[in-house]
Structure 1
């Protein structure tokens, strides 16, 4: 955070200094969170409760420290590339990027931008309605 002090007048500077001193005083006078957490746990245990019973399962100290890591999927190779700008790529998943959408709007097709040797067109699912299947009987 940066504040341009050159644009502030004397009254605004004094107000800023007072607010900073009040905040500093409040932060230095309060106890560390870990110490308060230990006191609350001890008091709950003394009265026959657990922190989870009082505040729910999210009050576990491990849950307060960090969230579980989000699972990332595998790295997907790009399927489409812009010939004018090689950094414009798309994997074919998610929303179509603006560079590709604008080119399609002007008459080109997505197959014009397939990366040769890497990408293949995704085949459409064949509709099997009305076709007979033969089953071998044993």
Structure 2
């Protein structure tokens, strides 16, 4: 295996572990853990809105509780493994803990290598509806106090 292949594989494993941390910390309700996988200018998009990092504690608190079961992400490293950006798509099946209702969909992500390693810069949720439609959800599903 060449050095560039090794670097590429190391990058992929690091990003996969980052995404695993997101799923596990969401499942455990660990807001600090969720915030830690994003860059300081990171955003999450769903429900017709884009939420900046400073809104994550409220967003995580308002999110339903349960199991965030994610699949292996399809990741496209820009360049030959030595670049500092990547994009990816990761499937998701969320199971609510109260009724065990499921939500399915996928995340479209952008990643950037920082001094602390790879981080999510953007994460956008697309839901797959029972009728087969793929969309980001209804606008204003979550309201924040003071708005």
Q: Same fold judged by TM-score > 0.5?
A: no
Structure with bigger helix share is 1
Pick 1 or 2: higher relative contact order, CA cutoff 8 A, min separation 6.
Answer: 2
Q: Give the TM-score, by structure 2 length.
A: 0.18
Structure with bigger strand share is 2
* Rg larger for: 1
